[in-house]
């Protein structure tokens, strides 16, 4: 099977296509919302539904829309003003989608989220149920981070909509993620360099692939290629394919499903994560960190073991029993996330001990493991 045939097969086998589009794709050269791009994207989404696909759109653009609507010269720097502009812009953005979709016989269903909505397991499931109901009613859900209340300092922000799109993809079974970017895929080197070409297919997102990311600064968008690659890493580990393609390419979405060699295809892992582990690995935010030694890191990553106290060097943060924590190796790199069987104070007393010594240290031993393997998800490579 050729790479283009592989891409077509993976996308056609998905029941739900999550499409993420960034501000840079939707904006004109002045940083304002380009209505013609909204019209084109809306038409493509409807075309996908005619192929029998459920479609979910994760769309940036609220701030850019507000900047244009209010006639501002540039994006505000003040947080409160920025959120006010987003409030105006989000209304204008969803109106633009609804206007174009309704002309094609569809309706937009606006869903605004903050990180807490997917951090809490019950609310996470509620979001999924809402999305499923929207699709059953033949609506096109349009999701954005709620910029009017999301405040980075309060840790309620997703950071960018690439991550949000990855979370949404993880919510849904038999899904695929298509990220529409201002670049036409992942390049084999800095795209500004002579001879740079798009990598057509990536089987594993490892350190060499992450090294292909080139940082860029923008007064329009928050995401970059590094963000997209990290999301592709998680989503493919969850068992779903990912495509990064140029959002300005004419009719890019139906052409991708037709198998045209556009963008970069990331192959899914054969054994995807179960929904609970998807939530643990990417949707919820850790309450603290556990640093482990080299032996424990190796056991977790290569043997699928539980985390035992003997392999723990230290705990960081104020977390309680049952909280999600990050597991870091000795170099400080996150390698896993999981539900801790012990709070931070208890963990401090049993670090480095054998499981048989827990009772003597605490006066009780409810669990032999700090994190059981069934409640642990590996992240990264």
More confident residue, 133 or 210: 133
Span 244-264, average pLDDT: 94
Span 174-187, average pLDDT: 93
Band of pLDDT at residue 29, cut at 50, 70 and 90: confident
Does 220 have pLDDT greater than 70? Answer: no
| Model pLDDT, residue 365 | 92
Question: Count of CB atoms within 10 A of residue 137's CB?
Answer: 9
pTM exceeds 0.85: no
Same fold, 3-277 and 286-378: no
Q: What is the rounded CA–CA span in Å between residue 350 and residue 368?
A: 11
What percentage of the chain exceeds 90 in pLDDT? 50
Q: What is the rounded CA–CA span in Å between residue 37 and residue 25?
A: 8
Does 335 have pLDDT greater than 60? Answer: yes
> For tokens 């989404």, what's the residue?
45
Domain made up of 286-378: CATH architecture? Roll (2.30)
- Residue 176 tokens read as 């695929």
So where are the chain's domains? Answer: 3-277, 286-378
User: pLDDT per residue over 274-304, tens digit each?
Assistant: 666 777 777 678 999 999 999 999 999 999 8
- Residue 198 tokens read as 């798009």
Query: Are the CB atoms for 26 and 33 separated by under 8 Å?
Result: yes
Q: What is the rounded CA–CA span in Å between residue 240 and residue 231?
A: 11
What SS3 class is residue 371?
Answer: strand
| Model pLDDT, residue 218 | 46
| Model pLDDT, residue 242 | 95
Question: Count of CB atoms within 10 A of residue 331's CB?
Answer: 9
Which range among 39-43, 82-86, 312-316 shows the weakest confidence by mean pLDDT? Answer: 82-86
| Model pLDDT, residue 219 | 46
**pLDDT, mean over the chain:** 87
Which range among 36-45, 94-103, 149-158 shows the weakest confidence by mean pLDDT? Answer: 149-158
Beta-strand pair 175-181/242-246: parallel
What's the start-to-end Cα distance of the chain, in Å?
27
Domain 3-277 has CATH 3.30.930.10: no
Q: Where are the beta strands (DSSP E) in the chain?
A: 16-21, 54-59, 108-113, 140-145, 175-181, 201-202, 242-246, 264-266, 288-292, 312-316, 324-328, 334-339, 376-378
Q: What is the rounded CA–CA span in Å between residue 105 and residue 89?
A: 24
């Amino acid at each position: 099977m050729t790479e283009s045939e592989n891409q077509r097969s993976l996308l056609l086998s998905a029941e739900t296509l999550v499409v993420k589009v960034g501000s840079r794709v939707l904006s004109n050269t002045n940083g304002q919302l380009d209505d013609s791009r909204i019209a084109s994207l809306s038409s493509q989404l409807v075309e996908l539904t005619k192929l029998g696909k459920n479609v979910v759109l994760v769309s940036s653009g609220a701030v850019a829309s507000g900047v244009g609507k209010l006639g501002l010269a540039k994006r505000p720097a003040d947080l409160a003003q920025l959120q006010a502009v987003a409030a105006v812009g989000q209304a204008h953005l969803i109106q633009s989608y609804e206007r174009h979709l309704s002309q094609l016989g569809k309706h937009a269903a606006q869903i605004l989220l903050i990180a807490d909505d997917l951090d809490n397991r019950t609310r996470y499931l509620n979001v999924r149920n809402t999305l499923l109901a929207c699709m059953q009613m033949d609506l096109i859900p349009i999701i954005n981070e709620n910029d009017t209340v999301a405040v980075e300092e309060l840790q309620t922000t997703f950071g960018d909509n690439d991550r949000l799109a990855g979370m949404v993809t993880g919510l849904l079974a038999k899904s695929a993620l298509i990220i529409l970017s201002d670049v036409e895929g992942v390049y084999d080197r800095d795209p500004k360099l002579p001879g740079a070409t798009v990598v057509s297919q990536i089987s594993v997102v490892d350190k060499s692939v992450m090294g292909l990311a080139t940082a860029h600064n923008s007064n329009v968008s928050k995401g970059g290629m590094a963000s997209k690659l990290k999301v592709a890493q998680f989503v493919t580990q969850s068992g779903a394919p990912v495509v990064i393609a140029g959002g300005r390419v004419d009719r890019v979405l139906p052409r991708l499903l037709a198998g045209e060699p556009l963008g970069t295809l990331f192959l899914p892992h054969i054994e995807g994560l179960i929904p609970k582990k998807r939530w643990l690995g990417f949707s919820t935010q850790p309450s603290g960190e556990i640093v482990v030694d080299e032996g424990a890191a190796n056991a977790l990553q290569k043997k699928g073991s539980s985390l035992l106290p003997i392999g723990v060097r230290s705990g960081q943060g104020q977390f309680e029993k049952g909280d999600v924590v990050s597991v870091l190796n000795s170099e400080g790199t996150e390698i896993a996330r999981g539900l801790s069987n012990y709070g931070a104070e208890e963990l401090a007393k049993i670090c480095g001990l054998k499981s048989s010594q827990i009772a003597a240290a605490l006066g009780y031993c409810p669990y032999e493991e700090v994190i059981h393997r069934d409640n642990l998800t590996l992240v990264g490579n």
